[in-house]
């Protein structure tokens, strides 16, 4: 049977303490115990349903975690204060001194910097590979490898990981496959395809209103329990726990995620097709010209489309900057990093979100100066948006003057 992630979210039923239609927010950092024995058992991890201290978990965080686990089809989940606050403990829980990671080279700049510059201090080494080349991935595995890390759809180049094949490689070598699914919630369900752990920055599409940060680790009960262990759990001990007020607000936003993703995808698909028709260098997984179009299609939950992210290469950083400034001026969106907002957001990743990646490596992976990453918004009239964008492109000499339609 087909996996239906939005149904899984819909089917959850939680009432508030007084029958409220929303679960009550746990406005407490600590919790009382009726008996001292229960407190001891809770610390030992043996008292189900008892809360200890909100860094460990809180009722509100559990509600959100369960909704995210339902969406990803994993046994359970642990929410975190940020996406990095989910990714870093997940990696550190699985890797210690002497261990090795095989990671996609086109990943979020922060994750890249963590693996490239930070974890070597703990004697964890990473080999960065072209994740779309399965032979290279397998060849990079050595006897110390513990983890294969990738993004389902990569930031910012929109490379698509063949999760089924990567899961087979991981299984064969007894490794864990960790997939950051921030760019493709609902569209791709990595755990259904064999991933062991699914990560998200909730800051992006899932919350969708650019008003808070958040992250989540979705996985097995055993793995999540290990992350929360008071003795050696990376989430518990590194402490990037989410605040209950925030998890309550993210849970409410999550209920419209399926509607938003459909609109983001519809708008992005439309713009990508129009841009490509104009002869612009457009990358969008929903275009037949995208090298991984077929793989994305084979993995996707169809109704959600190919996601809200697309990139345009306009030739030079100067042109990219001029275009972005003009588009902001015309209120087509904001010149800002991040993604998944109701307004279109655009930035030049080479000089912003991926600036952690050295210039020569950026070149090698195809991250050019003139690249603009668009997170397409929820615009109701995307045709109007396109016409105005086209005019902006004419004004900054990306398109020829003949293409100008509006004055
Ligand atoms: C933003 C982002 C992150 C980091 O999330 P934060 O919430 O900013 O900590 C990780 N991975 C991807 C793909 C992202 O886009």
Give the domain CATH number at 97. 3.40.640.10
DSSP collapsed to 3 states, the chain: CCCCHHHHHHCCCCCCCCCCCCCCCCCCCECCCCCHHHHHHHHCCCCCCCCCECCCCCHHHHHHHHHHHHHHCCCEEEEECCCHHHHHHHHHHHCCCCCEEEEECCCCHHHHHHHHHHHHHHCCEEEEECCCCHHHHHHCCCCCEEEEEEECECCCCCCECCHHHHHHHHHHCCCEEEEECCCCCCCCCHHHHCCCEEEEECCCCCCCCCCCCCEEEEECHHHHHHHHCCCCCHHHHHCCCCCHHHHHHHHHHHCCHHHHHHHHHHHHHHHHHHHHHCCCEEECCCCCCCCCHHHHHHHCCHHHCCCCEEEEECCCHHHHHHHHHHHHHCCCEEECCCCCCCCEEEECHHHCCCCCCCHHHHHHCCCCCCEEEEECCCCCCHHHHHHHHHHHHHHCCCCCHHHCCCC
Cβ 292 under 6 angstroms from ligand 1? no
Cβ 212 under 6 angstroms from ligand 1? no
Cβ 240 under 6 angstroms from ligand 1? no
Residues 297 and 366 in one domain: yes
Query: Cβ neighbours of residue 44 under 8 Å, at least 6 residues apart?
Result: none
Gap between the Cα atoms of 228 and 83, Å rounded: 17
- The atom number, within ligand 1, closest to the CA of 85 reads 9
Gap between the Cα atoms of 388 and 405, Å rounded: 9
Tens of pLDDT along 300-356? 999 999 999 999 999 999 999 999 999 999 999 999 999 999 999 999 987 777 777
Tens of pLDDT along 207-238? 999 999 999 999 999 999 999 999 999 999 99
Cβ 155 under 6 angstroms from ligand 1? yes
Residue nearest to atom 2 of ligand 1 (CA): 201
Residues 328 and 356 in one domain: yes
Task: Give the distance (Å) from ligand 1 centre to CA of residue 100.
Answer: 22
Residues 242 and 278 in one domain: no
Q: Which has the higher per-residue pLDDT, 400 or 327?
A: 327
Domain housing 89:
5-254
Residues 24 and 170 in one domain: yes
Provide the pLDDT confidence category of residue 35 given band limits of 50, 70 and 90: confident
The pLDDT assigned to 87 comes to 98
Task: Choose the residue to mutate in 79, 80, 82, 83 for probing ligand 1, maximizing ligand atoms within 8 Å of C-beta.
Answer: 83
Cβ 108 under 6 angstroms from ligand 1? yes
Gap between the Cα atoms of 230 and 208, Å rounded: 32
Q: What's the Cα-to-Cα distance from 311 to each of 105, 175, 290, rounded to whole Å?
A: 18, 32, 11
**pLDDT of 406 strictly over 60:** no
Task: Give the distance (Å) from ligand 1 centre to CA of residue 246.
Answer: 17
Cβ 204 under 6 angstroms from ligand 1? yes
- The atom number, within ligand 1, closest to the CA of 183 reads 13
Tens of pLDDT along 244-290? 999 999 999 999 999 999 999 999 999 999 999 999 999 999 999 99
Cβ 379 under 6 angstroms from ligand 1? no
Query: Cβ neighbours of residue 55 under 8 Å, at least 6 residues apart?
Result: 236, 239, 241
**pLDDT of 407 strictly over 70:** no
Q: What is the mean pLDDT of residues 5-25?
A: 94
Provide the pLDDT confidence category of residue 405 given band limits of 50, 70 and 90: low
Total structural domains in the chain? 2
Given the DSSP bridges, would you call strands 281-283 and 309-313 parallel, antiparallel or unpaired?
Answer: antiparallel
Among 137-141, 326-330, 396-400, name the one with the lowest average pLDDT: 396-400
Task: Please give the mean pLDDT across all residues of the chain.
Answer: 94
**pLDDT of 49 strictly over 80:** no
Which of 233, 254, 275 is the endpoint of a domain? Answer: 254
Q: What is the mean pLDDT of residues 20-36?
A: 91
Residues 248 and 276 in one domain: no
Cβ 156 under 6 angstroms from ligand 1? no
Among 25-34, 47-56, 211-220, 270-279, name the one with the lowest average pLDDT: 47-56
The pLDDT assigned to 47 comes to 62
Which of 254, 277, 292 is the endpoint of a domain? Answer: 254
Q: What is the domain-level CATH number for residue 271?
A: 3.90.1150.10
- The atom number, within ligand 1, closest to the CA of 215 reads 7
Percent of the chain whose pLDDT exceeds 90: 86
- Give the other-Cβ count within 10 Å of 51's Cβ: 19
Task: Give the distance (Å) from ligand 1 centre to CA of residue 9.
Answer: 22
Provide the pLDDT confidence category of residue 43 given band limits of 50, 70 and 90: confident
Residues 225 and 292 in one domain: no
Cβ 215 under 6 angstroms from ligand 1? yes
Residues 77 and 149 in one domain: yes
Cβ 205 under 6 angstroms from ligand 1? no
Q: Which has the higher per-residue pLDDT, 36 or 174?
A: 174
**pLDDT of 403 strictly over 90:** no
Which of 212, 227, 254 is the endpoint of a domain? Answer: 254
Q: In what order do the strands lie in the sheet with 333-335?
A: 281-283, 309-313, 371-375, 344-347, 333-335
**pLDDT of 60 strictly over 50:** yes
Residues 358 and 287 in one domain: yes
Task: Choose the residue to mutate in 103, 110, 375 for probing ligand 1, maximizing ligand atoms within 8 Å of C-beta.
Answer: 110
Tens of pLDDT along 142-165? 999 999 999 999 988 899 999 999
Residues 172 and 313 in one domain: no
Task: Give the distance (Å) from ligand 1 centre to CA of residue 339.
Answer: 9
Residues 105 and 203 in one domain: yes
Query: Cβ neighbours of residue 288 under 8 Å, at least 6 residues apart?
Result: none
Residues 169 and 298 in one domain: no
The pLDDT assigned to 171 comes to 98
Task: Choose the residue to mutate in 107, 150, 182, 183 for probing ligand 1, maximizing ligand atoms within 8 Å of C-beta.
Answer: 182
In contact, 48 and 41? CB cutoff 8 Å: no
- Output the pTM of the full model: 0.95
In contact, 218 and 236? CB cutoff 8 Å: no
Residues 310 and 379 in one domain: yes
The pLDDT assigned to 83 comes to 98
Task: Choose the residue to mutate in 68, 204, 217, 354 for probing ligand 1, maximizing ligand atoms within 8 Å of C-beta.
Answer: 204
**pLDDT of 384 strictly over 50:** yes
Cβ 203 under 6 angstroms from ligand 1? yes
Gap between the Cα atoms of 312 and 37, Å rounded: 61
Q: What is the mean pLDDT of residues 69-85?
A: 98
């Amino acid at each position: 049977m087909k996996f239906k992630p939005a149904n899984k979210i819909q089917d959850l039923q939680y009432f508030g303490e007084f029958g409220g239609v929303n679960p009550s927010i746990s406005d407490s950092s600590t919790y009382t115990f009726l008996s001292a024995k229960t407190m001891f058992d809770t610390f030992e991890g043996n008292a189900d349903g008892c809360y200890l201290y909100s860094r460990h978990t809180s009722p509100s965080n559990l509600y959100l975690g369960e909704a995210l686990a339902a969406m990803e089809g994993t046994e359970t989940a642990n929410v975190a204060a940020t996406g990095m606050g989910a990714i870093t403990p997940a990696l550190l829980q699985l890797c210690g001194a002497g261990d090795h990671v095989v990671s996609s080279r086109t990943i979020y700049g922060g994750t890249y910097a963590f693996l490239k510059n930070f974890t070597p201090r703990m004697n964890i080494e990473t080999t960065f590979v072209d994740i779309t080349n399965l032979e290279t991935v397998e060849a990079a595995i050595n006897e110390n490898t513990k983890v294969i890390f990738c993004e389902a759809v990569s930031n910012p180049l929109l490379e698509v990981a063949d999760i089924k094949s990567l899961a087979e490689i991981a299984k064969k070598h007894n490794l864990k496959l960790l997939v950051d699914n921030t760019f493709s919630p609902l569209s791709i369900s990595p755990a259904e395809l064999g991933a062991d752990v699914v990560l998200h920055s909730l800051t992006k599409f899932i919350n969708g209103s650019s008003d808070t940060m958040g992250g989540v680790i979705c996985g097995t009960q055993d793995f999540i329990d290990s992350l929360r262990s008071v003795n050696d759990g990376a989430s518990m001990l590194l402490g990037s726990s989410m605040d209950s007020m925030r998890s309550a607000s993210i849970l409410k936003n999550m209920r419209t995620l399926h509607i938003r993703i459909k609109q983001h995808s519809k708008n992005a698909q439309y713009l990508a097709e129009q841009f490509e028709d104009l002869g612009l260098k457009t990358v969008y997984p929903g275009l037949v010209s995208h090298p991984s179009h077929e793989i994305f299609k084979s993995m996707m939950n169809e109704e959600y489309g190919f996601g809200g992210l697309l990139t345009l290469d306009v030739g030079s950083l100067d042109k990219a900057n001029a275009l972005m400034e003009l588009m902001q001026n015309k209120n087509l969106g904001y010149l800002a990093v991040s993604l998944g907002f109701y307004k279109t957001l655009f930035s030049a990743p080479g000089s912003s979100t991926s600036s952690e990646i050295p210039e020569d490596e950026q070149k090698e992976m195809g991250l050019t100066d003139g690249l603009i990453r668009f997170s397409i918004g929820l615009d109701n009239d995307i045709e109007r948006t396109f016409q105005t964008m086209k005019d902006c492109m004419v004004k900054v000499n990306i398109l020829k003057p003949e293409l100008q339609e509006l004055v």
